[in-house]
Amino acid sequence: MQYQIRGTVMQSLEVSLQPGESVYTEAGGMSWMSANIGMETNMKGGLMGALKRAASGESLFMTTYSASSSPGFVTFTLEAPGTIIPMELAPGQTMICQRDAFMCAQSGVQLDIHFTRRFGAGLFGGAGFILQKITGPGMAFFEITGEVVEYNLQPGQSLKVDPGHLAMMDPTVNFDITMVKGVTNVLFGGEGLFLANVTGPGRVWLQTMPLANLAAKLAHYVAKQ
């Protein structure tokens, strides 16, 4: 399967399919495609799989796009200004990501839910108890709002992050929530009560523009109209 990512701020992903190849996404996720591409919408994984997807921020139904007798292409676009991350997942390789980060993937890739292991992380982490778990084998694509900064944390190395900026991580990374210390920091620091603490080993992808921050900024200007 070949693909091409175009653009900078509002990127598009064009996936070229040979006969017999397919890619799936949430219902309504396709932007345009060549005329010879076929599509099939169903509850991938049955009712239980659909309910799990809904809990992780995706749609109940998924649509599979396939090339049958001749090559073709299908194009997906970002829902907000951001970055598309392509990743070839080995068999059993898993990525943990924020809700709505999954864009599309080959049929062999599994989309599931991931429960944060600690009560504090789930309650105050900004994404709730449920994240997305993407497992190979196959090619998967993720959509992250804003620009992306990647860190490869060594064992025991930690970062403190505003929870909304945590986009994706390896399953080996420990994720917990810590309270901001100091009354002055809490009242006037502007960072809220809690920070995410991520500890290696493993990779962490941070996003420069959480969607909630963008929505809050736009709501501020809309309210003035």
Query: What are the pLDDT tens digits along the chain (225 aa)?
Result: 899 999 988 999 999 999 999 999 987 789 999 999 999 987 665 555 555 545 445 556 789 999 988 999 999 999 889 999 999 999 999 999 988 899 999 989 998 887 665 544 444 444 445 688 999 999 999 999 999 999 999 999 999 998 889 999 999 999 887 766 544 544 444 454 678 889 999 999 999 988 777 777 777 777 666
pTM: 0.82
Architecture per CATH, domain 2-223, reads as 4-Layer Sandwich (3.60)
Cα–Cα distance measured from residue 96 to residue 115, given in angstroms and rounded to the nearest whole number = 10
DSSP string, 34-90: -TTEEEEEE-TTHHHHHHHHHHTTS-S-EEEEEE-SS-EEEEEE-SSSEEEEEEEEP
Distance separating alpha carbons of residues 207 and 221, to the nearest angstrom: 23
Backbone φ and ψ for 187, nearest 5 degrees, come out as -80, -35
Domain regions of the chain by residue span: 2-223
Would strands 130-135 and 110-115 be described as parallel, antiparallel, or unpaired?
Answer: antiparallel
